[in-house]
A and B are shown apart, each in its own frame.
Chain A
Amino acid sequence: MPTFDDANMGVKSKLGMAKKNRPLSTSGTPTQIISGYCVLPIYLPARVSITGTSSDSEDEGGPKQTPVVHYLYIRKHETPGDNSSSRTLFVANLPIDATTLHMHKLFSTIADIAPSSIETVTFLPSPTGTSFQLIPSLSSLKGLQEGQISQIRRILPTCSAAHVVFTDIKAMNKALGSLKFQQATPPIWRLSDAVEQEAEDANAMTGSARYMAIHKRRRISSAALQVTVDSFMSTYNKAEIQREHEAKRARSMPDDDGFVTVSRGVGRTAVGTSSDALKAEAKKRQKKGELKDFYRFQIREEKKTRMNELLKNFKMDQEKIRELKAKRKFKPFSSKLA
């Protein structure tokens, strides 16, 4: 874990504290900025006992029990072409257990912004992660008791991001302003200040409680599954009918230029597919067949092809032998066994 001095290297450190491992207590130090993002270190709650050798580069003789630090990268969100009235901050590299409440707590700590000043927090799927899902969401399984879903906290994939939308630009600017300078102590990543409350909360969200909840949810009741299936199917059927109608209409309605789009008929079962036809044709052709080995040149061709094939294999074999030889394979007494 780099020291906070590292984060300051770009700036002249007036107090010569570069060797010290303690977070700077001066709140005038500008924050490190990477590619336009303010770097915000946060302390992770000390709930996990991690032992062992943290790598040498990380602590240069610093105290062992330093809290684990996570880094958020924050900047003003700008939509291309519309950068005038953004009320949104873009927060990247979120911890996996980030929730809206966490964000509320974070901004109230660093900038004293009341939760009410934050309009929404939207977590964004990562375009790089192939299997990004807002885990676990049963949104498509309707008909479940709401309680069952909310029990289980959504966990983000590592390196997720969020849009934090403030109620007004002022609040956002306040938040942004607080990021310009380093915090005296990095804020702690948690839901509430009350330690006990926090722990209880965390226990309910993680570990055995979490997985038991997931386990139970997957053992769905027949009734719930029935409702889900039914609702899905009725929506699906409606959509199907809708599509059919549209297709029919499209067939009869000329477009702007007066053309009618020709599309495949619905409802009529095709007798065969084009691929079937091709296959049949190929079969027919084969049956008819050509006379083989009739002309002299055919025989020669055939012979030559065969010979070339043989030669090719021969070369390949030679190549293989060379490879094996290179691997020192032909040593019968370099025994592998005792």
Chain B
Amino acid sequence: MAKRKRSESGTMVKVAMARELDIEENDAEESVQVDEYSDDFDEDHDDEGDKSSMSEQEENSANSLLAVEGTKPGKVSKKKLSVSRLADDVHNLHEAIQLYKSNIFKMEIDELLAELKIDEDKTKHVDKILHKLKVVIESIEDSPELLLPDAEKMLSKSGISIPFPDPKPPKDAQYRFKYEGPSDYNVVNCYLLKTMIKSPERFGVDVVVNMPKNIFHEKDALNYRYFHKRAFYLAYIASYLKSQKDLLFDMSYELLDGDHLRPVLRLESVKDGGEFDFHRARCYIRIIPGISQDVFTLTKISPSRNCVRYSQNPAESLKPTPFYNSSILNDTYFFPGTVVLHKAAKSCDGFKDAMKLGEIWLRQRGFKSSVDGGGFGSWEWGMLMAALLQGGGAKGSRSLSKGFSNYQLFKATLNYIASNDFTEAPVNTSKGPLGFDKGVFSGLPILVNNDINLNLLYRMSVSSYRRLRHEASLTVAELDDVKGDHFDSVFLDKVDSLIYQYDIASLIKFPSSRDDKTYRDIGRVFSPSYYAYFTSKVYQILHRGLGERASLISTKFSETSRWPLTAPKPSALGDGTLTLGILLDPENSERLVIHGPSAEDKSQAEEFRKFWGRKSELRRFKDGSIIESVVWEPHSERSIVSQIVTYLLERHFGEAIAKGMTFVADALAQTFAEDKELADGSAFTNFQKNLDEFEFLRKLLIDIDDLPLRVSSVMPASPALRYASIRSPAEFLNEYAHEFSDVVIELETSSKWPDDLVAVQHSKAAFLLGIAESIKSINAAILTQVGLERDLVTIENFSYLDIILPSGYAFRTRIQTDRESSMLKNYRIDKDLGLRAHRNLERNFSLAARHTTEFQTMCHRFPFLSPTVRRVKKWFHSHYLSPQVDDVLIELITLSIFLKPFPWTAPANATTGFLRTLYFLAHWDWRADPLILDVDNSLTIRDVQAIRDTFKSLRNNDPEYNQTALFVAVNYARDGTTWTSPNPSKVIASRITMLARASCEVLKTGNTIVSNNKSIIGRIFVSPLKDFDFVIHLKKMDRRTGRDVKYPPCDYFGLYFNELQTIFNGNVLLLRNALENDVIAGVWDPSILKARNWKVYLGYSTQPSTTEEANASDNNAHVRANIIAMVHEMGRLGGDLISKIDVLK
């Protein structure tokens, strides 16, 4: 005890010293932990005799380091606990860095998994029911051997219909149906493995009831007989369960994994609160009839064999029936499959969690095990991982290691999917070679990990497999990107979206299978589901027809596969809609001509003509070749691809199908197409022309040599010079009045500029006058005109020179000098003014020029960026946000959709781009997330971190977002606030979010986007005026003042608006649509509406407050804002510009 005390007092000193050593430890808790650890250390080493305090300090810190690394073995003491917590942390940290993408990524995964965990208490109850169910099923008495009519009659007595798959057994079938007690009863799949995840959907508890061997004959594998007997077996169990009075379920049939051949029995809890009520477990039980592997000779049902004699013609060689065969094989594989997963989970710690991660990832992308879910769900995912733990690599090496963390397993599996083509190189981890030719699955992926030749991926389609690989490679790219987090887009975002995911999406109504003779005769042998059959036909046609225009064609449908026990199996289930999604290759999608085979190649040409029908024509091309080809006409509302899709559907599936098809967001696209400015087909050419003319101007200015300083560079600095203005540039003074394109001129460096800013501005004006003079002498056809930015001369630039080239294109030039920037920064007379002016200078000169050049490049890299950004700008304007949101800000936000499209790909359609931008704005949590853009992939992790730190300190200094709301950083403006501060303010930022949400909501509710109701779609461009405090309605003014250069159109409303802003500075938020100029809307600063103590310069017009008000607050609150008088003042100033003013609040 004494010793302990001594050591403690001795420690006090060391603790203090340790604290000094403990440099970064700001966290009080942490330093306490370290201190406590020092205690321990002291006890350990007390006996080691004297040491100099210096060395002790060293030891001390070294040891705390050891502890930090978690390697120091030590005795267990009470205090150790806290140390070990720290050590644990550090251990986790190390682990995270090694085994995960990043530390925070690991923590996010941990949280996600915790969130997905099923509450075991709630499912415990299910075990009891499963046991009871087993007892009940085992007590079912055998049936006699029955012919079909007898079997049906017997079951119909208890109101049960036998769920025979199509084709149904013939009435005179000679084989007999029989029920005998199951040879096996097993719980399988996720419930046994405990890999279910919590989700809004209930999960299935799968119970496999193996049918005994002796009710089958060897020949039953042929011609659906097995499936018919299986259906009877299931119906028999159903009828018995129905008769049980103490074990009540809500029963129905459903398809197992969307396989029309294999119905199962679905048992849902009844909510009677009784002993067997398990609705709280949020699950249902499925009774699945299976067989053991010795019922049929497995080689006879290998995928390469034919088991359905679909033709009576003995001369015809019958094709293999892989789907049919695999369905039987799959029925033998329930328990063995579960064993495989179980073993894998036992040998590999991260396996189950990786399965859950896989399931989440798949679900967000619309994948499920079922035929309609793409045939790849968590079961297939788990089996693939299990296979890759066994092999799959080069020369059979293992592709996954047992030591992998759940994240590593997840990523490696995705990577495997992305980089291997399972159709070309089947994954085979069984003992021998494949027992069938890979060709029998005709383009489907193959994964075999068993010795019964069961292809685990037999339910996939060509389309779903391509989509799976597409999604996998996207996600791998995200996970490889160390600069971003991407957790959200990998796991949390719903990727599968009709509205946002594809460049072109459309809905096609399925025809009735009854009308499709090919399907009824042969098709269903290979694809029992008519929807799947039809869908894959559509896919094949479009795949061929679109060629390299499309980078991905997704064809999906959904079958809600349940029906009541009393009804026979319907031939088709679900809503009967095929969802078509197409991702375009922006380089190829708008090509007008499809080149076919040469006319000389008769058979190919014939084939081509057959495919394209009347659109196919023989053409001679410039190079002299005569080939079959198809030519499309550009159309303002219809993209080439949607024309092709419509045409091909009509040609190959009939007019009714093509007519019944709807394109998603078609009405929105039309709304844009009807907009005169946006639909301008020659927009791109006009921008190009403007840039060419700019080049002419640049040369002209550079060549001027009669000025004291030469022009060193001429830089574009205008939306019209970066493909981003709503109105495309055109000849000045033509029908549509146009604005000037801003241009920044730099002069040679000189030491002769004055030391005074006002004098600098005057010198610049003098230079402009000089330039105008020179231009006049060079080319009299070029018109010039000087102008003033504002009415007051300050330290900021006040002059510009308008230049109108003979072609009619117009430019507004301003001079930037090298010294101005530093002079403004160091402006001592009024620091704030100087800094503000400096920001303006950066924003309007050097950065505007830089941004213009960069954005030009981006518009070339992403062909649909320009039309998208123009549409997005339209949206901002239509919500009266013109004065609050900088052009550049809108451009950067839109650009982010292209640069960081995750979890999707960069849009190749302006409407999709527009919708994605709205989606982004609606979900951008700008309070917590900075938007960081890397235009040329030149930012390092350190750079990104530095930007994040800037953001963080900004938020710490201004937690209420008073200075900065949005934070948007880009390579050339890393401060993140250049275009976001002071505008848009937090009020406006919130309003943007709110408006974007409302717009998304409008599109979503009632499926507006799909039903294409134009008038409802129009609502996303309307801001309700009732949101505002007052609205000034403006008259329509003729802006034109004659075709005189000196007087280009007068922007009455702009000038009026700016003056109002100056006069009522800070008291009112004014909004307008600079495109329409229909209203000016205002919202008063709420703080001025309260009664206040009177003083001379309150900053707004006041009136004496009512006595109640004065009493209510305190006696000094004598005045309050005189709202009506201020509105009146605005009205008086506006005079004849105004038609009326509505005061709404």
**B1133 contacts A1, CB within 8 Å?**
no
Shortest distance in angstroms between A21's beta carbon and chain B's nearest beta carbon? 13
Query: How long is the Cα–Cα vector from A51 to B633 in the complex, in angstroms?
Result: 53
Whether A185 is near chain B, meaning CB under 8 Å from some CB there, is: no
Shortest distance in angstroms between B199's beta carbon and chain A's nearest beta carbon? 5
**B1047 contacts A135, CB within 8 Å?**
no
Query: How long is the Cα–Cα vector from A336 to B1003 in the complex, in angstroms?
Result: 13
Interface-located stretch among A2-10, A111-119, A245-253, A282-290: A2-10
Whether B1063 is near chain A, meaning CB under 8 Å from some CB there, is: yes
Contact A71-B103, Cβ < 8 Å, known A52-B1144, A161-B1096, A206-B1133? no
**A54 contacts B1143, CB within 8 Å?**
yes
Whether A218 is near chain B, meaning CB under 8 Å from some CB there, is: yes
Whether A217 is near chain B, meaning CB under 8 Å from some CB there, is: yes
**A308 contacts B24, CB within 8 Å?**
yes
Whether A303 is near chain B, meaning CB under 8 Å from some CB there, is: yes
Identify the closest chain A residue to B768 (Cβ).
Answer: A225
Whether A214 is near chain B, meaning CB under 8 Å from some CB there, is: yes
Contact A159-B1101, Cβ < 8 Å, known A51-B1140, A317-B103, A330-B108? yes
Majority-rule SS of A interface residues: mixed
Contact A71-B1097, Cβ < 8 Å, known A96-B1133, A158-B1129, A332-B491? no
Contact with B along A41-55 (1 / 0, CB 8 A): 000110111111111
Whether A171 is near chain B, meaning CB under 8 Å from some CB there, is: no
Query: How long is the Cα–Cα vector from A78 to B765 in the complex, in angstroms?
Result: 45
**A329 contacts B769, CB within 8 Å?**
no
Which A residues lie within 8 Å of B1135 (CB)? 47, 202-203, 205-210
**A135 contacts B788, CB within 8 Å?**
no
**Which bracket fits the contact residues of B?**
35 or more
Shortest distance in angstroms between B102's beta carbon and chain A's nearest beta carbon? 8
Shortest distance in angstroms between B182's beta carbon and chain A's nearest beta carbon? 36
Identify the closest chain B residue to A233 (Cβ).
Answer: B762
**A161 contacts B1097, CB within 8 Å?**
yes
Query: How long is the Cα–Cα vector from A135 to B1065 in the complex, in angstroms?
Result: 13
**B499 contacts A50, CB within 8 Å?**
no
Chain A residues numbered 10-40 whose CB sits less than 8 Å from any CB in chain B: 32, 34-35, 37, 39
Contact A330-B112, Cβ < 8 Å, known A53-B1145, A70-B1122? yes
Which B residues lie within 8 Å of A68 (CB)? 1124-1125, 1128
Which A residues lie within 8 Å of B789 (CB)? 218
Chain A residues numbered 302-320 whose CB sits less than 8 Å from any CB in chain B: 303-305, 307-315, 317-318, 320
Contact A202-B492, Cβ < 8 Å, known A229-B765, A236-B756, A330-B108? no
Which A residues lie within 8 Å of B532 (CB)? none
Query: How long is the Cα–Cα vector from A4 to B319 in the complex, in angstroms?
Result: 99
Interface-located stretch among B126-134, B212-220, B1048-1056: B1048-1056
Whether A220 is near chain B, meaning CB under 8 Å from some CB there, is: yes
Identify the closest chain B residue to A90 (Cβ).
Answer: B1096
**A158 contacts B1101, CB within 8 Å?**
yes
Shortest distance in angstroms between B493's beta carbon and chain A's nearest beta carbon? 7
Q: Which of these, A53, A130, A158, A211, contacts B1056 with CB under 8 Å?
A: A211
Q: Which of B1007, B1100, B1131 has the most CB of A within 10 A?
A: B1131
Whether A263 is near chain B, meaning CB under 8 Å from some CB there, is: no
Contact A337-B1101, Cβ < 8 Å, known A140-B792, A315-B27? no
Chain B residues numbered 1098-1138 whose CB sits less than 8 Å from any CB in chain A: 1098-1107, 1118-1119, 1122-1129, 1131-1138
**A159 contacts B756, CB within 8 Å?**
no
Which A residues lie within 8 Å of B754 (CB)? 236, 240
Interface-located stretch among A81-89, A121-129, A172-180, A254-262: A121-129
Which A residues lie within 8 Å of B763 (CB)? 229, 233
**B1099 contacts A129, CB within 8 Å?**
yes
Which A residues lie within 8 Å of B22 (CB)? 308
Which A residues lie within 8 Å of B494 (CB)? 335-337
**B1144 contacts A53, CB within 8 Å?**
yes
Q: Which of these, A55, A137, A222, A321, contacts B1145 with CB under 8 Å?
A: A55
**A52 contacts B1143, CB within 8 Å?**
yes
Q: Which of these, B21, B68, B1004, B1143, contacts A50 with CB under 8 Å?
A: B1143
Whether A169 is near chain B, meaning CB under 8 Å from some CB there, is: no
Whether B618 is near chain A, meaning CB under 8 Å from some CB there, is: no
Which B residues lie within 8 Å of A155 (CB)? 1059, 1063, 1133
Identify the closest chain B residue to A338 (Cβ).
Answer: B1004
Identify the closest chain B residue to A48 (Cβ).
Answer: B1131
Whether A294 is near chain B, meaning CB under 8 Å from some CB there, is: no
**B115 contacts A330, CB within 8 Å?**
yes
Interface size for A (C-beta < 8 A) is 110
Q: Which of these, A70, A208, A336, contacts B493 with CB under 8 Å?
A: A336
**B792 contacts A58, CB within 8 Å?**
no
Q: Which of these, B27, B791, B1127, contacts A217 with CB under 8 Å?
A: B791
Q: Which of these, A54, A69, A157, A210, contacts B1103 with CB under 8 Å?
A: A69
**A336 contacts B799, CB within 8 Å?**
no
Interface-located stretch among B58-66, B302-310, B470-478, B871-879: B58-66
Query: How long is the Cα–Cα vector from A96 to B1128 in the complex, in angstroms?
Result: 10
Which A residues lie within 8 Å of B364 (CB)? 332
Shortest distance in angstroms between B376's beta carbon and chain A's nearest beta carbon? 18
Which A residues lie within 8 Å of B1136 (CB)? 203, 206-209
Q: Which of these, B103, B1047, B1094, B1096, contacts A215 with CB under 8 Å?
A: B1047
Which B residues lie within 8 Å of A159 (CB)? 1097-1102
Contact A310-B93, Cβ < 8 Å, known A57-B1106, A229-B765, A337-B500? yes
**B1103 contacts A1, CB within 8 Å?**
yes
Whether A187 is near chain B, meaning CB under 8 Å from some CB there, is: no
Which B residues lie within 8 Å of A226 (CB)? 766, 769
Shortest distance in angstroms between B783's beta carbon and chain A's nearest beta carbon? 12
Contact A9-B1132, Cβ < 8 Å, known A50-B1143, A336-B493? no
Shortest distance in angstroms between B887's beta carbon and chain A's nearest beta carbon? 22
Whether B433 is near chain A, meaning CB under 8 Å from some CB there, is: no
Whether A331 is near chain B, meaning CB under 8 Å from some CB there, is: yes
Shortest distance in angstroms between B213's beta carbon and chain A's nearest beta carbon? 43
Identify the closest chain A residue to B767 (Cβ).
Answer: A229
Which B residues lie within 8 Å of A308 (CB)? 22-25
**A321 contacts B24, CB within 8 Å?**
no
Which A residues lie within 8 Å of B1141 (CB)? 48-52
Whether A325 is near chain B, meaning CB under 8 Å from some CB there, is: yes
Query: How long is the Cα–Cα vector from A36 to B787 in the complex, in angstroms?
Result: 48
Query: How long is the Cα–Cα vector from A39 to B1041 in the complex, in angstroms?
Result: 45
Query: How long is the Cα–Cα vector from A203 to B1132 in the complex, in angstroms?
Result: 9
**A307 contacts B1132, CB within 8 Å?**
no
Identify the closest chain A residue to B21 (Cβ).
Answer: A304
Q: Which of these, A50, A216, A329, contacts B1128 with CB under 8 Å?
A: A50
Contact A317-B107, Cβ < 8 Å, known A50-B1140, A203-B1136, A332-B116? yes
**A314 contacts B769, CB within 8 Å?**
no
Contact with A along B194-218 (1 / 0, CB 8 A): 0000011000000000000000000
Q: Which of these, A69, A329, A333, contacts B199 with CB under 8 Å?
A: A333
Which residues from chain B sit less than 8 Å from chain A, CB to CB?
21-27, 30, 58, 61-62, 65, 68-69, 89-90, 92-93, 103-104, 107-108, 111-112, 114-116, 199-200, 360, 363-364, 488, 491-494, 497-500, 751, 754, 756, 758-759, 762-763, 765-766, 769, 772, 785-793, 799, 922-923, 928, 1004, 1007, 1030, 1037, 1041, 1046-1048, 1050-1052, 1055-1056, 1059, 1062-1065, 1067, 1094-1107, 1118-1119, 1122-1129, 1131-1145
Given A269-B751, A308-B24, A330-B115, 5 more A-B residue pairs with CB atoms under 8 Å apart are A47-B1131, A211-B1052, A218-B787, A233-B762, A324-B111
24 contacts between A and B (CB under 8 A): A2-B1106, A58-B1124, A69-B1122, A128-B1098, A135-B791, A136-B791, A140-B793, A205-B1135, A211-B1056, A212-B1052, A215-B1047, A217-B788, A219-B785, A222-B786, A233-B766, A236-B758, A311-B68, A313-B103, A314-B90, A321-B104, A332-B115, A332-B364, A332-B491, A336-B493
Give the top 8 A-B pairs by smallest Cβ distance, nearest first. Answer: A207-B1135, A48-B1131, A136-B791, A206-B1135, A308-B24, A207-B1136, A215-B1050, A338-B1004
